[in-house]
Amino acid sequence: MADRRPYPSDLSDARWELIEPVLSAWRYERHGRALGFGRPAELNLREIMNAILYVDRTGVQWRYLPHDFPHWNSVYGYFAKWQKDGIFAQLNGVLRELVREQEGRGAEPSACVIDAQSVKTSTSVPATS
């Protein structure tokens, strides 16, 4: 971690170990698509995630990130790319699987529940179908 006092929203070492492989793989794949052009990535992915968690937990605007995090524009850039590339959904899936396995259940759910409030139907479809 960087030489700064930790915030309550910072990732613990154990939590970082869970998500680091996903973020590192994303960075490696993205760098591979760049064909070796441009500068190598310099920003610490853990600090980027800590900054995103800080914004999420405090509600502060991106521009008001404390100065001991990477520049707000860089943090927001990573956030937008991760959102677009589905990284947060992937992390959610990884963490869901771990929780299910710790509870002694299968990693993937075997059923789901859909109620009438979740799925809207067309008024032109007959009720019998």
Domain boundaries, the chain: 13-102
Digitized pLDDT (tens) for each residue of the chain, 129 residues in all: 557 899 999 999 999 999 999 999 999 888 766 556 666 668 999 999 999 999 999 999 999 999 999 999 999 999 999 999 999 999 999 889 988 988 888 888 778 887 766 666 666 666 666
**pLDDT at position 40, please?**
62
Count other C-beta atoms under 10 Å from residue 29's C-beta: 10
Q: Are the C-beta atoms of residues 47 and 20 closer than 8 Å to each other? A: no
pTM summary value: 0.76
Quote the pLDDT of residue 124: 67
3-state class (DSSP) for residue 117: coil
Q: Return contacts of 75-81, CB within 8 angstroms, 24+ apart.
A: 75/48, 75/51, 78/43, 78/48, 78/52, 79/52, 81/30
pLDDT of residue 125: 65
| CA atoms of 58 and 55, how far apart (whole Å) | 5
